Structure 1
Amino acid sequence: MLETSLYAPVKKFLEGLGFAVKGEIGGCDLVALNGDSPPVVVVCELKLQFNLELVLQGVDRMAASDEVWLAARLSARGKGRESDARFRNLCRRLGIGLLGVTATDGVEILLSLAAPMPRRDPKRRSRLVNEHKRRQGDPVAGGGSRNPIMTAYRQEALACAAALADGPRRPRDLRPDLPNAYKILRRNVYGWFVGIERGIYGLTAAGHEALLRWPQQSRTPQVEGRGGAVAAETIVASPVEA
């Protein structure tokens, strides 16, 4: 199947909207005009399936036209890019319309140029800001996904682990420097902690391994120990992930 197979149904669709349509003008697959002095110039690029290359072609055509549309065959199983919300949102932000050509050569408007911009997600935005502010330093290089990410929560959990490295302690002993110590020890997301007895926590083998993988820097403020005020380690997550 060739891209030229899309030309006739898209041309018929645009002519039904009152446009005069011609193909292969100035490197554009389809150019449609409507009105005079000056006319409304519509460019449509054709591909057998929606992809990034088609979007890039559309962006290139925007400087010479009033409207840009991208047309492609609809996926038979509905799993093409036309079903990807990220793809549609990209085209919406760029101001590019999408047309889908069916197996029977019908044409459907998948994304109108009048479609509203994607809404911002305030909760998602808030999570990004909160994580950015809580994370100490810049411990993870962007672009990787295979290694565990050094989140702010992992940094706090490592700080708790380092505070227990020399022996079991109570959450309240850690609270002056680690306000979330009780929640972290109790939830034990990574399996680093173990309850020794009521209200006292120690490190598991996994916890010791985590400290070897992510060594911690420390300073020594005063916190309340079981026998009074004693020196204890306040831990700061290492800025570089091992």
Structure 2
Amino acid sequence: MTETSLYKPVKRFLEGLGYLVKGEIGHCDVVGLREGEPPVVVVCELKMQFNMDLLLQAVDRASACDEVWLAARMSKRGKGREHDARFRNLCRRLGFGLLGVTGAGGVELLLSPAALAPRRDPRKRSRLIEEHRRRRGDPAEGGMTRQPIMTAYRQEALSCAAMLVDGPKRPRDLRPANPNAQKILHRNVYGWFVSPERGIYDITDAGRAALLRWPVEAPAP
């Protein structure tokens, strides 16, 4: 069992509470969004066991969301931190919720998050919401490490690359399907694009390799 194996059970649990859930947004393992005015944002951090690193991650995320959850695998012998009254009391004082994931993929609610005084960082919060809304589907399981995260920006860059496979184009040719095409082509963060002449862009070998790694269909122009 790895951290990513905890993602789907936790996602199902939070979806049951009415959240639209996506993984690996803004360095957060799991982000749930419930639309409204204002929207409600929850963050859940995943670890194989409840420990201080997990707690410190949750403290760091707290300013960007309305609720923080910690999720870890339940210890087989019942001797994990989830059974430590001191650990639970600390999480309760911080207002954090605790979820235990069983070996069979079930989720046990160990502690509900408390409604504490606002402690938000508006900038962090808005970045989470924007990335959650821009990302197409849920392409990254929470808990991923040592591999590129499929962010909304990467998705848009891949879409632009797919539209250049059949030949060079101008940014405005890509804009109906990709409103940020001009910025993506000009910045060329991943080296996927080349400009053979002013105002015209083509795909590079690196871009073609990226489409082989992350296949996408070219959107209708």
TM-score normalised to the size of structure 2?
A: 0.51
Which residue of structure 1 aligns with residue 9 of structure 2?
9
The code of the aligned residue for 1:22 comes to K
1:73-112 mapped onto 2 (5 Å cutoff): 73-112=73-112
Which residue of structure 2 aligns with residue 63 of structure 1?
63
1:121-200 mapped onto 2 (5 Å cutoff): none
> Structure 1: which 5+ residue stretches go unaligned?
116-242
Taking the aligned partners of 2:69 and 2:114, their CA distance within structure 1 comes to 12
Which residue of structure 1 aligns with residue 134 of structure 2?
none
Taking the aligned partners of 2:34 and 2:68, their CA distance within structure 1 comes to 14
The code of the aligned residue for 1:4 comes to T
1:38 partnered with 2:33:
no
Cα offsets for 1:8-39 (capped at 9, x unmatched): 00001111111000000000000001132221
Taking the aligned partners of 1:64 and 1:114, their CA distance within structure 2 comes to 16
Taking the aligned partners of 1:39 and 1:97, their CA distance within structure 2 comes to 19
Taking the aligned partners of 1:106 and 1:73, their CA distance within structure 2 comes to 10
Task: State the 4+ residue runs in structure 1 displaced beyond 2 angstroms.
Answer: none
Taking the aligned partners of 2:26 and 2:113, their CA distance within structure 1 comes to 23
Taking the aligned partners of 1:14 and 1:112, their CA distance within structure 2 comes to 12
Which residue of structure 1 aligns with residue 123 of structure 2?
none
SS in 2 for 1:22: strand
SS in 1 for 2:82: helix
SS in 1 for 2:45: strand
The code of the aligned residue for 2:51 comes to N
Taking the aligned partners of 1:108 and 1:35, their CA distance within structure 2 comes to 26
Which residue of structure 2 aligns with residue 21 of structure 1?
21
Taking the aligned partners of 2:37 and 2:113, their CA distance within structure 1 comes to 22
Return the offset for 1:114.
Answer: 4.0
Return the offset for 1:59.
Answer: 0.3
Superposed CA RMSD in Å reads 1.5
Taking the aligned partners of 1:25 and 1:38, their CA distance within structure 2 comes to 19
The code of the aligned residue for 1:84 comes to D
Taking the aligned partners of 2:114 and 2:28, their CA distance within structure 1 comes to 23
Taking the aligned partners of 2:110 and 2:46, their CA distance within structure 1 comes to 14
Taking the aligned partners of 2:19 and 2:30, their CA distance within structure 1 comes to 11
Return the offset for 1:47.
Answer: 0.4
Return the offset for 1:103.
Answer: 1.1
Which residue of structure 2 aligns with residue 52 of structure 1?
52
SS in 1 for 2:43: strand
Structure 1 residues 51 and 86, CA gap change in structure 2 (3 angstroms): same
SS in 2 for 1:69: strand
Tell which structure's C-alpha radius of gyration is larger.
1
The code of the aligned residue for 2:68 comes to V
Alignment check: 8 A CA contact 2:96 2:114 kept: no
> Comparing both chains, which one has the higher relative contact order based on Cα–Cα distances under 8 Å and sequence gaps of 6 or more?
2
